[in-house]
């Protein structure tokens, strides 16, 4: 059992947890993740470790409500527990002094990229970041990025904050203004990573992409997280999660991530229906 030390809402449907996981906190390195299970029959959810405090034995996780399992997870409060926290898993990010590093992230991908940005800055890199979200209200971790980076630019799909457009628009604009980058790291929705990978390839900027395929055991045994990179098959849980962005078959990844969409929707609708029934019962009890 892993006690929840704190839980707060960062933005709509985006939650931050600090949980007790001393073994993970002691061994964790930037880029690694854990697999979390909230109860005995719960789904195994892979989550990037955003931060670890070896002294307190706590790790920081950021979770977006996306389906039944993450909605249930985000209902847990401080003092309650996660049943399992397995990790740290995956390969830590290979950090070297590249020079100018550009971090390109969208949505909750900012949470995955923050520890890498910090580690890259500590290794002597000049780190620049592009953070994207659908709107200003969904922008998270901007202040922490600004504390770690030399410069941060933001974009929103609807133009409510920063540049109206996508992270790739900002990156292209930066290059056109004469900025040079020796390395890029890309994290976010798969379609965003696909477009950003194509752009960095066009601009001759080496790039890593942190992939998020369907994952079950996290040890390479189930094969559910297999991805194709430069025509070869890899398991993201043990060979990644980071790969050469220019070699990833993103279209295959998109299709594989949709494999259980119907089952996920049915599970979510079932949860929502139960929630409506419970709300109706509570309202009826109030007026009885």
Residue 249 sits in a domain whose CATH number is: 3.40.50.80
C-alpha 261: how far from chain center: 19
219 plus 130 within the same structural domain: yes
126 plus 160 within the same structural domain: yes
- Number of domains the chain contains: 2
Q: Is 143 inside a domain boundary?
A: yes
In tens, the pLDDT along 43-81 reads 888 899 999 999 999 999 999 888 778 888 888 899 988
Task: Determine the pLDDT at residue 213.
Answer: 81
Question: What distance in Å separates the CA atoms of residue 109 and residue 140, rounded to the nearest whole number?
Answer: 10
Continuous segment of H or E residues that includes residue 116:
helix 109-122
173 plus 193 within the same structural domain: yes
Q: Is 275 inside a domain boundary?
A: no
| CATH number of residue 51's parent domain | 2.40.30.10
226 plus 185 within the same structural domain: yes
Q: Is 279 inside a domain boundary?
A: no
Q: Is 266 inside a domain boundary?
A: no
- The DSSP code sequence of 59-82 is EEEEEE--SHHHHHHTT--TT-EE
Domain boundary among 60, 89, 118: 89
Question: What distance in Å separates the CA atoms of residue 226 and residue 234, rounded to the nearest whole number?
Answer: 5
14 plus 135 within the same structural domain: no
Question: What distance in Å separates the CA atoms of residue 68 and residue 73, rounded to the nearest whole number?
Answer: 9
Q: In the 8-state DSSP scheme, what is residue 280?
A: H
Task: Determine the pLDDT at residue 95.
Answer: 92
28 plus 153 within the same structural domain: no
Q: Is 265 inside a domain boundary?
A: no
Question: What distance in Å separates the CA atoms of residue 138 and residue 66, rounded to the nearest whole number?
Answer: 14
Half-sphere exposure of 96 (CA within 13 A, CB side): 5
Q: Is 274 inside a domain boundary?
A: no
Task: Determine the pLDDT at residue 273.
Answer: 58
**Token duo for residue 130:** 């592009």
239 plus 158 within the same structural domain: yes
Domain boundary among 89, 113, 136: 89
Residues of the chain short of pLDDT 50, as ranges, are 276-288
50 plus 121 within the same structural domain: no
127 plus 7 within the same structural domain: no
Question: What distance in Å separates the CA atoms of residue 191 and residue 223, rounded to the nearest whole number?
Answer: 22
Q: Is 250 inside a domain boundary?
A: yes
Q: In the 8-state DSSP scheme, what is residue 43?
A: P
245 plus 158 within the same structural domain: yes
Question: What distance in Å separates the CA atoms of residue 54 and residue 35, rounded to the nearest whole number?
Answer: 19
CA torsion through residues 88, 94, 97, 101, sign:
negative
48 plus 161 within the same structural domain: no
114 plus 23 within the same structural domain: no
Task: Determine the pLDDT at residue 73.
Answer: 86
Q: Is 156 inside a domain boundary?
A: yes
Question: What distance in Å separates the CA atoms of residue 151 and residue 172, rounded to the nearest whole number?
Answer: 15
Domain that holds residue 193: 100-257
Domain boundary among 89, 112, 144: 89
Print burial letters for 157-172: b (CB count within 10 Å at least 16), e (below 16): eeeebbbeebbbebbe
């Amino acid at each position: 059992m892993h006690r929840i030390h704190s839980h707060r809402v960062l933005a709509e449907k985006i939650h931050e947890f600090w949980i007790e996981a001393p073994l993970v906190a002691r061994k964790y390195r930037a880029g690694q993740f854990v697999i979390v299970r909230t109860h005995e029959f719960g789904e195994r959810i892979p989550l990037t470790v955003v931060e670890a405090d070896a002294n307190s034995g706590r790790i920081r996780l950021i979770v977006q409500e996306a389906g039944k399992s993450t909605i249930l997870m985000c209902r847990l409060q401080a003092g309650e527990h996660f049943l399992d926290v397995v990790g740290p898993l995956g390969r830590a990010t290979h950090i070297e002094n590249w020079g100018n590093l550009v971090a390109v992230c969208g949505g909750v991908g900012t949470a995955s990229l923050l520890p890498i940005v910090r580690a890259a800055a500590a290794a002597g890199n000049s780190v620049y970041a592009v953070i994207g979200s659908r709107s200003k209200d969904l922008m998270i971790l901007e202040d922490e990025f600004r504390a770690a980076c030399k410069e941060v630019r933001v974009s929103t799909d609807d133009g409510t904050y920063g540049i109206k457009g996508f992270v790739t628009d900002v990156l292209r604009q930066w290059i056109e203004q004469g900025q040079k980058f020796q390395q890029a790291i890309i994290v976010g929705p798969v379609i965003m990573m696909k477009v950003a990978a194509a752009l960095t390839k066009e601009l001759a900027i080496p790039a890593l992409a942190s992939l998020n395929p369907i994952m079950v055991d996290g040890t390479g045994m189930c094969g559910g997280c297999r991805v194709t990179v430069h025509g070869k098959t890899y398991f993201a849980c043990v060979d990644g999660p980071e790969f050469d962005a220019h070699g990833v078959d993103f279209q295959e990844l998109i299709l594989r991530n949709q494999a259980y969409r119907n089952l996920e929707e049915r599970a979510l609708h079932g949860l929502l229906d139960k929630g409506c029934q419970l709300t109706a019962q509570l309202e009826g009890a109030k007026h009885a």
